[in-house]
Structure 1
Amino acid sequence: MEKSSRVYGIRAVMEAIKANEPVDKVFIQRGLKGTLSRELETILRKNGIKATYVPVEKLNNLTKNNHQGVVAQISPVSFYELEDLVEQVNNGQTKPLFLLLDQLSDVRNFGAIIRTAECTGVHGIIIQKKGAAPVTADTIKTSAGAVFRVPLVKVDHIKDAVFYLQASGVTVVAANEKTDKEIYNVDLSGPTAIVMGSEDRGISPSTLKAVDEIAKIPLLGEIGSLNVSVACAVFLYEAVRQRQ
């Protein structure tokens, strides 16, 4: 479901967060003071929502209305609850295929991954509330509109999603170069979730410890890694190959 892209005003932004609206980022005027602004900052921290402090001119460009020093960016898509999506997929006719993105931060990589996920029949993409790339106009464009076709889930911690999927009968496979096992020697034909890491840090150590399998893509050149969206495509299409 498409939503309004921005909310402005301190109280309006706080109410949007309390109402579980998909707030991706909040812009706050530099030097803003007062009880309400401190209350807003507390709510942002509790909900893991990123705040960016900007000059007032930036806020004036975002909206011509009385913003009171605060403008929130709302995701244009609605997010699923993990439990609801897993139950829905498990009740379907096809074997589940999920994708977990561990704090992927580049919006264009995110869009490219969503596009590939839609083309490979992924049932849902799970991201972390804090530190994950937001759904922006660039994400939508790069995904070629696939962002409106693939269910998205936000969780507090990727590791917790791993445990929940495992308890639901899903094998979790992490993409990581620090292993001897290649992707072609891992069974992706059953209920599977693939974990991809962030562009700079990869998959967090705690998540790597929790997964069932770790697999790598063979690299025959001198460069030591692939772009994350390309690596994700390799993993997903290997899953497609095994399932056909």
Structure 2
Amino acid sequence: MTPERIARIKSVISHRQFDLTVVMENVFDPHNISAVMRSCDAVGVQELYVLNTRIPPHKKWGAKSSASAAQWLTIHTFTDVQTCFAALRKKYQKIYTTHLSSTSVSLYDLDLTQSVALVFGNEAEGVSEEVCRYADGNFLIPQVGMVKSLNISVACAVTLYEAFRQRWQAGFYQQSDRFQPQKTALEKLWLQQNENS
């Protein structure tokens, strides 16, 4: 492995946000999943939760150009809602769903510097009522157009970049000692996996 490759790996890991994650519920288009993975990697989200209760498990994550992001993420897959959210509660303080309701708040009113899991539903129905019951609140992305919803991968990207903005301003990406044990373990894993490159 070249010194440049090692330096790149260490730089990427130094910015990983181990207290921010995304959950996808029954998202059936592999290309949408791949796009979400790319957004996660881009803003330093390391863990991704894929919950499939009504669709078969995905055998691949989409086109090769998008699927490469999967190798840099820790992906947890679940087929049971309760088990998935029990795992989330052990690691994240808040769980928010993208769900339109009378109690929904604007994305821009959320504090995304806290330990948080962001839940996105499938292309046809959004987040299910069952999953909403496990959340601490719902949020929406403000829109002024005729169409009232965004593609799931776009909604996820918009949300993650708001989290990125808040966390960058808070100095989280500049604090290389945040989550040092997790970063050390991840660096060891990535260096092992890429030792022949």
Q: Using structure 2 for the length normalisation, give the TM-score.
A: 0.70
For 2:59 and 2:111, the matched residues in 1 are separated by 31
Shift of 1:104: 0.3
- Structure 2 equivalent of residue 225 of structure 1: 149
Most deviating of 230-239 and 179-188: 179-188
For 1:187 and 1:107, the matched residues in 2 are separated by 30
For 2:161 and 2:17, the matched residues in 1 are separated by 16
For 2:158 and 2:57, the matched residues in 1 are separated by 21
Instruction: Looking at secondary structure, tell me which structure has more helix per residue.
Output: 2
Q: For 2:44, what is the secondary structure of its paired residue? A: coil
- Structure 2 equivalent of residue 200 of structure 1: 124
> 1:112·1:142 contact (CA, 8 Å) conserved in 2?
no
Structure having greater relative contact order (Cα 8 Å, sep ≥ 6): 2
For 2:108 and 2:96, the matched residues in 1 are separated by 12
For 2:56 and 2:108, the matched residues in 1 are separated by 29
Shift of 1:169: 4.2
For 1:226 and 1:187, the matched residues in 2 are separated by 22
For 2:66 and 2:21, the matched residues in 1 are separated by 17
For 1:164 and 1:150, the matched residues in 2 are separated by 17
Q: For 1:139, what is the secondary structure of its paired residue? A: coil
> For residues 154 and 169 of structure 1, do their structure 2 counterparts lie closer, same or farther at Cα, with a shift above 3 Å needed?
closer
Which of 138, 142, 154 does residue 214 from structure 1 map onto? Answer: 138
> For residues 240 and 134 of structure 1, do their structure 2 counterparts lie closer, same or farther at Cα, with a shift above 3 Å needed?
same
**Root-mean-square deviation (CA), in Å?**
2.2
Which one has a bigger Cα radius of gyration?
1
- Structure 2 equivalent of residue 147 of structure 1: 70
Shift of 1:177: 2.5
> For residues 170 and 98 of structure 1, do their structure 2 counterparts lie closer, same or farther at Cα, with a shift above 3 Å needed?
same
> For residues 222 and 126 of structure 1, do their structure 2 counterparts lie closer, same or farther at Cα, with a shift above 3 Å needed?
same
Q: For 1:206, what is the secondary structure of its paired residue? A: helix
Shift of 1:107: 0.8
Q: Deviations over 1:88-116 (max 9, x none)?
A: xxxxx855111110010001111111111
Most deviating of 170-179 and 110-119: 170-179
For 1:120 and 1:132, the matched residues in 2 are separated by 29
Q: For 1:98, what is the secondary structure of its paired residue? A: strand
Shift of 1:119: 0.3
Map of 1:74-153 to 2, 5 A cutoff?
94-130=17-53, 131=55, 134-136=58-60, 139-143=62-66, 145-153=68-76
Identity in percent: 28
Q: Using structure 1 for the length normalisation, give the TM-score.
A: 0.57
- Structure 2 equivalent of residue 5 of structure 1: none
1:163 matches 2:81: no
> For residues 113 and 157 of structure 1, do their structure 2 counterparts lie closer, same or farther at Cα, with a shift above 3 Å needed?
same
> 2:95·2:135 contact (CA, 8 Å) conserved in 1?
yes
Q: Deviations over 1:181-218 (max 9, x none)?
A: 10111111011111000001211111101111210000
